[in-house]
A and B are shown apart, each in its own frame.
Chain A
């Protein structure tokens, strides 16, 4: 398992085993110091047979022309990502079912009246989905157009810089759950409950990270850019409307954990059709899913609306 070994002395981001350089600021990872005082001539010899080694293009490393043994060089490693820790399930299957029923009742007036009573749960599967959870601080430089200070055009340019803290931000690596589903779930986990072994549910499926470290870092970086752009739009650009938000992040102290997060995936059936919902494995009230609409109710409301309009029009005309 790849665990953080040390911290970059330049930007305080975490370095992992196999990193030759910091992924954030390119500082070389520390190596064993080599202090020579005299000029030395070295013939590098094969450990096996004592013949001189030469760098060989075929194997991209020094190798022995006689016995074929290859010398290992320290290279940049790009291993597959591995789960470091699991958040435990703290709600059970029964609570999840109850939460689904309650959720079905709260969906509003355009849903069928008998939805809660007649929906039948087909399957309920506990599952650990995987995500990168990162902390970082960043100096964000931004530019954007907004309506503040605009004159003949609808837009005026603005620029600024802002310090931002990113604290426990989850970036989904899940293939099983959709982006909308993970977005709904990710805010209500208690990341401090992470532990090395799965707990709280038996027989739960465990998703795997199926990307390499370099790709994972790319995903985390683009998530940071996206989140920074959203925050800039909400908090920093003056005015009410904005467009063309550009951000550049100067990251420091990026620490990423690879976590498995608990959730229930439910499939329920209503009048022969199947619908899917996901429920947090830590807080049952966090439910996200699809549900049927009642065509009759919508049509009745629309008809009532049109009727009201016609009545008003008739009154005005009269």
Chain B
């Protein structure tokens, strides 16, 4: 892997030279602690952000919540994980794309319409009886649907993959601010590191999945099956938006890579995977097996 490109910049406050990773949008002078925001020329791969969502949850509140979350993990989670201290706590403005489009969909489904029929049958005592039964007849339905897709959010950072971001969504987009560099001041902010075409593909995938979810509720009839659809996305809008995320990393065992916990910097939603202890699980299984075996032996013996 190529080493990250760095640039040399001069601190505007004290004149010291510092180096800065190319994928970062902010820096702090090592000598005078001045918070700086790096404004690069916009390009297709690195457009200017349109909006940013400010942090609502501060460092202390975030740290406390994540510590409580770690302690509250289940009984099979490794003990050293539960006791680990947070090593690194970073409030990051994560670059994401906010995608919208007009979805033109052609769909086809088998629509079930219920009806009742009276039928006669012979009961167990040999008497003829009548009963009404509910039956369903299916009809094919083809149609078109046109609608807006709003606010599909996809990550533009290699650091936090889309499925992890999805775990701490949703963000309340009513609190969006028009992007101004000063909102990043004193915080970490990344530049987009995923290529914009790949992000667009992910966003389109989300949009199409959303069409499918909503189509199920759009079908008439009493029931339906075999819903198929194909969607054409037109008139797209895509905006780079910086979202607030707290990232915690912690080392709980020497031989293991550090674990990571994410928190939505606006709503406080937490996501992480707690490592399970093989030893704890094995012990429990062995104990349970022993208990069952003893029980069986006792039952057989008496």
Chain A residues proximal to chain B, CB less than 8 Å: 10, 20-21, 24-28, 31, 34-44, 52-55, 57-58, 60-62, 71, 73-76, 78, 139, 141, 143-145, 150-161, 214, 244, 246, 248-250
Contacts and interface: CB of A to CB of B under 8 A. Distances in A.
Contacts of B145: 141, 161, 248
A315 B141 CA distance: 56
B37 A44 contact: yes
B186 interface: yes
A44 B181 contact: yes
Contacts of A28: 50-51, 237, 239
Contacts of B237: 10, 25-28
B177 interface: yes
Contacts of A57: 54-58
B13 interface: yes
B168 interface: no
Contacts of A248: 145-147, 218
User: How extensive is the interface on chain B, given as a class?
Assistant: 35 or more
A54 B34 CA distance: 9
11 contacts: A26-B148, A39-B39, A42-B12, A55-B185, A76-B174, A143-B141, A145-B220, A155-B113, A157-B111, A248-B145, A250-B147
B295 interface: no
A20 B173 CA distance: 11
Given A76-B174, A160-B143, A52 B185 contact: yes
A58 B38 CA distance: 24
Given A36-B40, A54-B35, A145-B220, A159 B184 contact: no
A143 B219 contact: yes
Give the interface centre of A20, A58, A151 by most chain B CB atoms within 10 Å: A20
Nearest to B217: A246
Nearest to A57: B58
B182 A74 contact: no
Given A26-B151, A143-B219, A153-B137, A75 B175 contact: yes
A230 B239 CA distance: 36
B144 interface: yes
Given A145-B113, A214-B174, A159 B143 contact: yes
A143 B221 CA distance: 9
B259 interface: no
Given A39-B39, A62-B183, A156-B113, 18 more contacts: A38-B41, A40-B38, A40-B39, A41-B36, A73-B177, A73-B182, A75-B176, A141-B147, A143-B143, A143-B218, A143-B219, A150-B113, A154-B115, A159-B144, A160-B143, A246-B217, A246-B220, A248-B147
Contacts of B143: 141, 143, 159-161
A158 B140 CA distance: 10
B185 A153 contact: no
A246 B218 contact: yes
Interface of B: 7, 9-13, 27, 34-42, 48, 50-51, 54-58, 98, 100, 102, 111, 113-115, 117, 135-137, 139, 141-148, 150-151, 174-178, 180-187, 217-221, 235, 237, 239
A254 B42 CA distance: 33
A42 B54 contact: no
Nearest to B93: A55
Give the interface centre of A24, A141, A249 by most chain B CB atoms within 10 Å: A141
B185 A157 contact: no
Given A26-B151, A28-B237, A153-B113, A141 B178 contact: no
A78 B35 CA distance: 32
Contacts of A76: 174-176
Contacts of A58: 58
B182 A141 contact: no
Nearest to B187: A55
A291 to B, nearest CB: 41
Q: 6 tightest CB-CB pairs across the interface, nearest first? A: A159-B143, A54-B186, A153-B113, A74-B178, A153-B115, A157-B111
Nearest to A38: B41
Contact of B38 (A37, A41, A250): A41
A25 B100 contact: yes
Give the interface centre of A150, A153, A154, A161 by most chain B CB atoms within 10 Å: A153
B12 A43 contact: yes
A10 B239 CA distance: 14
A43 B220 contact: no
Contacts of B34: 43, 52
A24 B146 CA distance: 14
A55 B51 contact: no
B213 to A, nearest CB: 13
A308 B219 CA distance: 51
A152 B115 contact: yes
B137 A157 contact: no
Nearest to B143: A159
A191 B64 CA distance: 58
Nearest to B59: A57
Contact of B220 (A21, A55, A60, A143): A143
Given A20-B178, A58-B58, A157-B141, A52 B13 contact: yes
B292 to A, nearest CB: 53
B54 A39 contact: no
A158 B137 CA distance: 15
B154 to A, nearest CB: 15
Contacts of A27: 100, 237
Contacts of A44: 35, 37, 181-182, 185
A73 B183 contact: yes
Nearest to B55: A57
